[in-house]
């Protein structure tokens, strides 16, 4: 039996061996064929699928969305609207996270400005703010 070992697949895609096995368990990758010695062997289709999954993960898609995208990939004539919706949902999530991170940045900058990082005469404002959520000016 020819094909790629799980180690070779890992090296080519940058996905850890344990993660590849996890994806198999989740049904994102089909269970590969095995050699007489029991070694997993993957074909080019599995390599392509794993590359797809790895890239989608890098773009921040969760595994449920990736499973749906894989299904759409298998039926490309019906995929356009659903794939667009999934990508649009991801953009909304990213924008929400960016807004939250900007609020965090603003609050942390405010806290840091209240503390000179030097004075022993008064309690540290950074530690005070971390200990008391009520000390924050806004919800983050």
The end-to-end CA distance of the chain, in Å, is: 55
Residue that wins the pLDDT comparison between 111 and 12: 12
pLDDT tens digit sequence for 45-78: 999 999 999 999 999 999 999 999 999 888 867 7
Longest alpha-carbon distance in the chain: 74
List alpha helices for 4-137, DSSP H.
6-13, 17-26, 44-58, 63-74, 80-113, 125-131
CA distance 39 to 7: 11
- Which of these CATH numbers, 2.40.10.10, 3.40.50.300, 1.10.1660.10, 3.30.565.10, describes 1-63? 1.10.1660.10
Per residue in 91-139, pLDDT (tens digit) is: 999 999 999 999 989 888 888 887 777 766 677 777 777 777 676 666 6
- The pTM assigned to this predicted structure is 0.76
Q: In the chain, what are the domain boundaries?
A: 1-63, 75-140
Asked if 41 and 3 count as a contact pair (C-beta separation under 8 A), the reply is: yes
């Amino acid at each position: 039996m020819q094909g790629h070992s799980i180690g070779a697949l890992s090296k080519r895609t940058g996905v850890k061996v344990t993660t590849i096995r996890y994806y198999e368990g989740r049904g994102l990758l089909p269970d590969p064929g095995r050699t007489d010695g029991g070694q997993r062997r993957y074909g080019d289709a599995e390599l392509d699928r794993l590359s797809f999954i790895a890239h989608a993960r890098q773009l921040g898609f969760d595994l449920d969305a990736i499973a749906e995208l894989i299904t759409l990939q298998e039926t490309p004539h019906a995929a356009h609207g659903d794939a667009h919706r999934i990508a649009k949902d991801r953009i909304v999530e990213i924008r929400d996270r960016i807004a939250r991170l900007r609020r965090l940045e603003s609050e942390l900058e405010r806290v840091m400005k209240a503390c000179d990082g030097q004075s022993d005469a008064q309690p540290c404002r950074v530690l005070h703010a971390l200990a008391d959520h009520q000390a924050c000016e806004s919800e983050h």
